[in-house]
Structure 1
Amino acid sequence: MMDEARYNQLVAAVFKRLLAAADAIDPDVLEADSTGDMLTLTAPSREKCIVNTQRAVRQIWVAGKSQGIHFSYDEATGTWKDDKGRGLELFSFVADVVRDISGAELAYPG
């Protein structure tokens, strides 16, 4: 299991990237609220995408599309992949949920 300092660094980068993408969208279309270990993206319909840390297991959990998906960091590819091997990637999954709930397209900064 990766050490806590590495996990914290990776999580901080994920939250920063997600927030930057969400902040580029009109808040009337998608509202972003970050509090500590949780980021909530809310559509005008009040549907949500929730991104939350799972520190004990060094994962990130995303709730959306009526499901909760755990993502683990894959050192080999430098990406967060779902822990069930379904081929889901964290940033793509969040973008899909946001598109479903708000119609907005998340554009992640480089």
Structure 2
Amino acid sequence: MNESEFNALAEATLLSIEQQVEDADTELDFEMSSGILTLTAENGSKIIINRQVATLEIWVAARSGGFHLGRQDDVWFCQSTGETLQELLTRVVVEQGGEKISFT
């Protein structure tokens, strides 16, 4: 995948996450700025999701750690946890804010 393809795919992924948060019946808030999506729980806890063009990865920063996700078999996949991006986000949102949301 080249840089242009990565940027288009990463942007679509971030917009999809944003839309899912907006559509969910939760107190989770979000803000997108310069390719960085910040999810904020009602307790003020933040989860940061951004793209890293140099490594062609999406990075997630949460209380439980920093996670790097590359593309594998057409999904964003974290080598360190074995989770897809959707599984990882579902878990860290529950851990940090107690909100139940399933990302697809």
The normalised TM-score by structure 2 is 0.88
CA distance in 1, matches of 2:44, 2:70: 28
Partner of residue 8, structure 2 = 9
2:60 to 49, 62, 65: 62
In structure 1, the partner of 2:88 is 93
SS across alignment from 1:56: coil
Gaps (5+ residues) in structure 2? Answer: none
Q: Secondary structure at the match of 2:54?
A: helix
TM-score (norm 1): 0.84
Contact 2:21 2:29 in 1 (8 A): yes
TM-align CA RMSD: 1.7
DSSP-derived class of the 1:34 partner: strand
- Percent of residue pairs bearing the same amino acid type: 29
1:30 equivalent in structure 2: 28
**Residue pair 1:25, 1:104 contacting (<8 A) in 2 also:** no
CA contact (8 A) 1:30 1:44 kept: yes
Q: Which runs of 5+ in 1 are unaligned?
A: none
Question: Which has the higher relative contact order, 1 or 2, with Cα contacts under 8 A spaced 6 or more apart?
Answer: 1
CA distance in structure 2 between the partners assigned to 1:30 and 1:70 by the alignment: 22
Q: Which runs of 4+ in 1 moved over 3 A?
A: none
What amino acid is the match of 1:35?
Answer: S
Aligned length: 104
C-alpha separation in 2, matches of 1:51 and 1:71: 10
